[in-house]
Amino acid sequence: MTGMELYVKFMFTLTVGLAGVGLVMKTIFETLLYDWDPVVDMRRWWKVHSHKSSAVEHVRAEDILQEIEGRRQGAPRPAGRAIDRRRESLRDMDEAESRLSSTAAV
């Protein structure tokens, strides 16, 4: 075989192979992923992974200092600690955002 024949054979094989891969991908996208919205999924993924942080960030330095000063002065602790109230309010905001985003996606 000459070099030109090998080239033509290679190009024909490449064409058939790429056409086959195209058909398989088209079938997969039309049957399995027909309702998939990559933009929404990427935004959801980014929101979930970018907002996960340690609990240390949710505790303000002022709350810690007030708690330490209260212990030193012997003052009774308030019934609801400021740190717990802040965490609870953040949880409530996250729940509200998730409810709003779930209704918006529908």
Contact 64, 40 (CB under 8 A): no
Round the average pLDDT of the chain to a whole number and report it: 80
Closest residue by Cα to residue 83 from 105, 104, 61: 61
> Per the structure block, which two tokens stand in for 88?
């609870």
Amino acid at 13: T
Q: With 0.75 as the threshold, say if the pTM is over it.
A: no
pLDDT band at 105 (very low <50, low <70, confident <90, very high): low
